[in-house]
Amino acid sequence: MEWKRVKAELLAIGRVALKGEDCRRFISRSTAGPTAGGEGSVFFSVGDRRVRLSVDPASPLVLHHEGGGKAVISGPGREPLRGMLEVPGLHCPRQAYITLSERCIFSCRYCTVPRLHGRVKCPDEVLEKVKGVLDRVDAVSITSGVAESVPREEAQVLDVVRRVAPLGKPVGVSVYPTPRTPDLLHDLGVAEVKWNLEAATPALFAVMCPGLDYDLMWQALRRSVEIFGEGAVCSNVIIGLGETDAEMTKCITDLTGAGVIPVLRPLLPAAELAAWHRPSADRLLRLLGIQEQALRDAGLDPRRVRTMCTACTGCDLTPGRDT
Ligand code: SF4
C-alpha cells in the first residue's frame, strides 16, 4: 500500500495503544494545541516518512515496541507496519519546538490550552532548553498561547528570538500576530513564519475562534510573503470543522495563490469539540490531491520549508514529503 494511504488511515484514527518494551523516552508531551495535556504522543517513522499518534490505551491501533525504537503497528484488518519510534527533540523530532505560554486568554473551541492554565516560560529558560538539544535538532521553532495580551506576547517572543537566533539554526515562529509582528520577526532574522487561519471560511472561524481576527491573519500572511518570500510562510487550516470540500478548496487555492503553503490539519476532537470526529482517510487523500495541484500551480514546494509543521509532517499529509 502506498505510504500516503497508510498515513491517511493512521491519521484518521490518530491514536495508538502502546505495548511491549518501555516507550517512555519516545513519548512527547504537548503544551500547545489540541493535544496539550493528554497522555502524550509518539512519532513513528518508516524510512524518512513520519506520523505522530496520540497515546491512548483504548485505541484500536496497537504499537508493539520491540526495543531500541523498533516497533510494529497493527490493528483490525491491517497489514502490520514495521518502523521506528523517533526520539523527540523538544516536542517533535529534529526540532526544538518551544511553547512559551502554556496558557491562553482566548478560547478556540477545539483547543485544550485555555483549560490547562499552564506556565509561562522565561526567555532564559527557553535558551537553556534549546541549547540542551542543539546537537540533535535542525531548527528552532517558537509558538505560544496568549498569556495576558497579544502585544505582551509579541514582546516575549521577540525577546526569545533575540536569544535563539545567534545559535545558528533556522528559526520559525507561529503565534497570534499583531500587524507589525511579521516585520519585527523578519528584522531579527527569523527564517519562516506560520499564521494559522485555522478554519476554511471566515464564518467558521468566527464560530470556532471567538475574539480572534481572520482579516488580521490574512494581513499578516500577505505582508509576510512580501518580506519572507513565497514558500517561507505557512498557515494551518483544520479539516473537519464543518467546512465543505468546495470551501476547503477555495481556502487552499486562496492561500497558495498568495504564496502561502497550507498545512491541512485533521481535527483532533478535544475541548468543546471532544464529541466530534476525525476526518476520514478518503477525505484526507482527496484534499491532499487538491492541495498538491494547487501548490504545483503556484510553484510552491513544502520540501524547502525548514521549520515547524511543514518540516516535521507528523500530524498532516504533506505534499512532496508524504507523496
Ligand atoms: S506537525 Fe506540527 S504540531 Fe504536529 S508534531 Fe509536528 S511540529 Fe508538532
SS3 content of the chain, % helix, strand, coil (to 5): 35, 25, 40
- Mean pLDDT in residue range 245-266: 98
Could you tell me if 30 and 36 are in contact, meaning their C-beta atoms sit under 8 angstroms apart?
Answer: yes
Q: Whose CA is closest to atom 7 on ligand 1?
A: 309
276 CA distance to ligand 1 middle (Å): 21
pLDDT of residue 114: 81
Taken in order 83, 27, 320, 202, the sign of the CA dihedral is positive
How do the domains of the chain map onto residue ranges? Answer: 3-86
pTM of the model: 0.95
Could you tell me if 233 and 261 are in contact, meaning their C-beta atoms sit under 8 angstroms apart?
Answer: yes
Q: How many CA atoms lie within 13 A of 303 on its CB side?
A: 10
Whose CA is closest to 194, among 243, 141, 269, 258? 141
Pocket test for ligand 1, best of 11, 27, 29, 92 (most atoms within 8 A of CB): 92
User: Mean pLDDT for the chain?
Assistant: 95
Q: Whose CA is closest to atom 3 on ligand 1?
A: 309
Q: What is the enclosing helix (H) or strand (E) of 193? A: strand 192-194
pLDDT of residue 199: 98
- Mean pLDDT in residue range 274-288: 97
Q: In the structure grid, which three cell numbers stand for residue 101, read together?
A: 505560554
pLDDT of residue 34: 55
Rounded percentage of the chain residues whose pLDDT exceeds 70? 98
Q: What is the enclosing helix (H) or strand (E) of 241? A: none
- Mean pLDDT in residue range 235-243: 98
pLDDT of residue 72: 98
Could you tell me if 193 and 214 are in contact, meaning their C-beta atoms sit under 8 angstroms apart?
Answer: no
Q: How far is CA 316 from the centre of its chain?
A: 8
Pocket test for ligand 1, best of 30, 85, 97, 98 (most atoms within 8 A of CB): 97
pLDDT of residue 86: 96
**pLDDT tens string 61-120:** 999 999 999 999 999 989 999 999 999 989 899 999 999 999 999 999 999 888 888 899
| Closest atom of ligand 1 to CA, residue 141 | 7
**pLDDT tens string 181-238:** 999 999 999 999 999 999 999 999 999 999 999 999 999 999 999 999 999 999 999 9
**Residue 312 near ligand 1, beta carbon < 6 Å:** yes
Q: Whose CA is closest to atom 2 on ligand 1?
A: 309
Q: In the structure grid, which three cell numbers stand for residue 64, read together?
A: 508493539
pLDDT of residue 116: 81
**Residue 4 near ligand 1, beta carbon < 6 Å:** no
Say whether pLDDT at 37 is over 70. no
pLDDT of residue 38: 72
Rounded percentage of the chain residues whose pLDDT exceeds 90? 92
**pLDDT tens string 149-166:** 999 999 999 999 999 999
**What count of residues does the chain have?**
323
Q: What is the DSSP string of 243-288?
A: --HHHHHHHHHHHHHTT-EEEEEE----GGGTTS-PPPHHHHHHHH
Say whether pLDDT at 126 is over 90. yes
**pLDDT tens string 133-153:** 999 999 999 999 999 999 999
pLDDT of residue 113: 87
